[in-house]
Amino acid sequence: MARRNKKSQPKNDGQNKWKNLYKKALSDIVHLEEKLKQDITFAIETTKREIFFPLLEILDDLERVIFLSKDEQKKPIKMIREKLLNILARYGVREIERKEGDQFDPLKDEVIGVINGKANNVIRQIVRKGYMMKDTLLRPTRVIVEKEEKEK
């Protein structure tokens, strides 16, 4: 049997204690850095949504002006609209591609009206365009859907 030096025993215990504290502190710092990165990313994305949402309302206004304008007046307004869409696209904002006849998607669409008909949950009118920011819904598409009329 090997004999231990009693004087070195407490020194090793102290070293192990400090080594374990160091490892725990290092682990805490790594976790804190990861949490901080997540919080910063979340804050940036939230700020972008808050900035982009009012710009989408401006796009809606441009769409209405284009719809109501005479042909010769539409071109400059369309150019402004395209420029704004290109700026938004640089930040990952894109229009949700929906059209009349598509199936209603509760993850991307908001129903604001229902009409009776033969089809069930089919989009009959798009009232306001929806937008995504990367893979996150920024604003749902507002739609009127057709519901199957039940026979009495």
Tens-digit pLDDT profile for residues 10-55 = 567 778 889 999 999 999 999 999 999 999 999 998 898 899 999 9
Q: What is the mean pLDDT of residues 128-148?
A: 94
Q: What is the pLDDT of residues 45-86, one digit of tens each?
A: 889 889 999 999 999 999 999 999 998 889 999 999 999 999
> How far is the C-alpha of 62 from the C-alpha of 123, rounded, in Å?
23
Residues 6 or more apart from 116 whose CB is under 8 A from it?
A: 146, 147, 149
pTM: 0.72
Backbone angles phi, psi at 94, to 5 degrees: -145, 155
